[in-house]
Amino acid sequence: MTKWEWACCGDAFAIGDDVDFGIKTRTPHAALADMLGPELIATVDAMESHHEEAFTDRVRGRVVAVHAVTQDVIERRSLRLPGHGAPPESIMPADGDE
């Protein structure tokens, strides 16, 4: 989960806590597999969601270990040209405009 997801929708948990997670999917997204690589993605068996949706698939239990995977992300802004990420009907800004 991203930092904003934890801040938005859930309390931290620790070893020994009882948890009840709603499972969004049992199949990790291809983008996550690309980020984690084949060895690590093979250890992922469910994708949890902290949002207030009604998930019938759930994982309940007591936390016995916590393993964290982090990824540094560099945010950058880039001009998206019409037809190249921006809608085709977009108007090109003048040079120097954001």
Summarised one tens digit per residue, pLDDT across range 27-77 is 888 988 898 899 999 998 888 866 667 888 888 999 999 887 777 777 777
Given a contact cutoff of 8 angstroms between Cβ atoms, the answer to whether 57 and 22 are in contact is yes
10: pLDDT strictly greater than 70: no
CA 54 to chain CA centroid, nearest Å: 19
Count of CB atoms situated within 10 Å of the CB of 22? 17
* pTM metric for this prediction: 0.55
Alpha-helix residue ranges (DSSP H) falling in the chain? 3-9, 30-36, 38-41
Q: How far apart are CA 38 and CA 21, in angstroms?
A: 25
pLDDT confidence band for 1 (50 / 70 / 90): low
Q: What is the pLDDT of residue 64?
A: 96
Query: How, if at all, do strands 58-62 and 18-25 pair?
Result: antiparallel
3-class DSSP state of 62: strand
Q: What is the pLDDT of residue 51?
A: 66
Where do the structural domains in the chain lie, given as residue ranges? 1-92
